[in-house]
């Protein structure tokens, strides 16, 4: 049954690999002179998605969040493996999941070359492999005092959608409809990551919340930062809910955005904007790197705001 399942839903031609699905291991040949970038992510039902969520959407998101890690390193996607535990052999669910997964894979030229299946609580684990020129990876340890802090796209939408879905934030239905797609169908910024090679000094994808993820850059780079709350890019609809503390929390610490947060020298602002234009992705300058350690968020009056939460805790109850 396991091999029939794989053959029905997850076996496709893999012209970019030496050997794809069907053997004990896949065989891949990196482009000559390139380095490999490898990342894994796991999604659990009840933790990262709900039982009632669309299987096609889950397929899309499960690969998108992995591709976002490649984007944060400036890597070009090449191959992926998929390990999935299933409560039952639900053919209709798997067909829809595979449709969403391969739609995202085809959009970014990534091939599924292997994986595993078993019976158990619904769990999806994906490993992605990309490549990039040596010395051009966008790492977390490159931020320097005086650098600008940038964010791609808009942030806070996915966390706001989750707060609405969980009943923690009341929104008009017409407003909720504008933020829900960010939760279910995130867009990995692969083209921007590639365009920022040689321009950005450091980068990370925003998966656990802007402050938490920027904090990882600060820790690895041994620097601090000041972030301007008013500069943070959000959908206009979110501005109508900023009187609610949960809405501001979603913007600063909500997570699930899968946008890029990156730093670059102030002298390279034009180069950043040119890279963003090539990637057809908006970017916004939201702060600056400081020599003094710590992370401050300042309001319109220039005073630091009290921050009680920085991001998602994977081991919280």
**Strand pairing report for 224-228 and 294-298:** parallel
Instruction: Look over the chain and give the mean of its residue pLDDT values, rounded to a whole number.
Output: 92
Task: Please state the residue numbers annotated as binding site for substrate.
Answer: 48, 256, 312
* Whole-structure pTM value: 0.92
pLDDT computed for residue 315 by the predictor:
38
SS (H, E, C) 192-239: HHHHCCCCCCEEEECCCCHHHHHHHHHHHHCCEEEEEHHHCCCCHHHH
Pick the CATH number of 2-132 from 3.40.50.300, 3.30.1330.10, 3.40.50.1950, 3.40.50.2300: 3.30.1330.10
Delimit the domains of the chain by residue range. 2-132, 148-298
Tell me the average pLDDT across 29-52: 92
Listed in sequence order, the residues at least 6 apart from 166 whose beta carbon sits closer than 8 Å to its beta carbon are none
pLDDT one-digit tens code per residue, 200-249: 999 999 999 999 999 999 999 999 999 999 999 999 999 999 888 899 89
Band of pLDDT at residue 301, cut at 50, 70 and 90? confident
Task: Please state the residue numbers annotated as binding site.
Answer: 24, 39-41, 48, 69, 115-116, 140, 205, 207-208, 256, 312
pLDDT computed for residue 36 by the predictor:
96
Q: Assess whether the region 2-132 and the region 148-298 belong to the same CATH fold.
A: no
Q: How many degrees, rounded to 5, is the angle at CA 277 between CA 273 and CA 280?
A: 135
Q: Regarding predicted confidence, which is higher, 278 or 2?
A: 278
Task: Please state the residue numbers annotated as binding site for Mg(2+).
Answer: 24, 39-41, 69, 116, 205, 208
Neighbours of 64 (CB within 10 A): 23
Task: Please state the residue numbers annotated as binding site for ATP.
Answer: 115-116, 140, 207
pLDDT computed for residue 26 by the predictor:
84
pLDDT one-digit tens code per residue, 245-298: 899 899 999 889 999 999 999 999 999 999 999 999 999 999 999 999 999 999
Architecture of the domain whose range is 148-298: Alpha-Beta Complex (3.90)
């Amino acid at each position: 049954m396991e091999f029939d399942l794989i053959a029905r839903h997850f076996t496709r031609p893999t012209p970019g690999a030496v050997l794809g699905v069907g053997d004990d291991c896949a065989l891949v040949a990196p482009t000559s002179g390139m380095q490999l970038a490898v990342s894994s992510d796991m999604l659990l039902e009840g933790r990262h998605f709900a039982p009632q969520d669309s299987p096609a959407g889950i397929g899309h998101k499960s690969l998108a969040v992995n591709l976002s890690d490649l984007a944060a390193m400036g890597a070009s996607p090449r191959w992926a493996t998929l390990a999935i535990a299933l409560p039952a052999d639900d053919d209709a669910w798997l067909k829809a999941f595979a449709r969403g997964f391969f739609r995202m894979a085809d959009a970014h030229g990534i091939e599924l070359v292997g994986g595993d299946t078993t019976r158990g609580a619904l769990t999806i684990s994906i490993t992605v492999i990309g490549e990039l020129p040596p010395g051009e990876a966008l790492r977390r340890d490159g931020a320097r005092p005086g650098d600008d802090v940038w964010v791609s796209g808009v942030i806070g939408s996915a966390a706001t959608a989750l707060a609405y879905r969980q009943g923690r934030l009341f929104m008009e239905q017409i407003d909720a409809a504008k933020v829900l797609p960010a939760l279910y169908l995130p867009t990995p910024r692969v083209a921007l990551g590639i365009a920022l090679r040689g321009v950005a000094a450091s980068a990370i994808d925003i998966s656990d919340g802007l402050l938490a993820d920027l904090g990882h850059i600060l820790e690895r780079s041994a620097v601090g930062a000041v972030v301007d709350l008013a500069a943070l890019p959000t959908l206009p609809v979110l501005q109508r809910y900023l009187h609610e503390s949960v809405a501001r929390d979603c913007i600063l610490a909500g997570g699930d955005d899968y946008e890029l947060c990156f730093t670059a020298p102030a002298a390279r602002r034009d180069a950043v904007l040119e890279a963003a234009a090539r990637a057809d992705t908006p970017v916004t300058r939201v702060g600056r790197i400081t020599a003094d350690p710590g992370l401050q968020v300042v309001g319109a009056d220039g005073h630091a705001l009290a921050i009680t939460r920085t991001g998602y805790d994977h081991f919280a109850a």
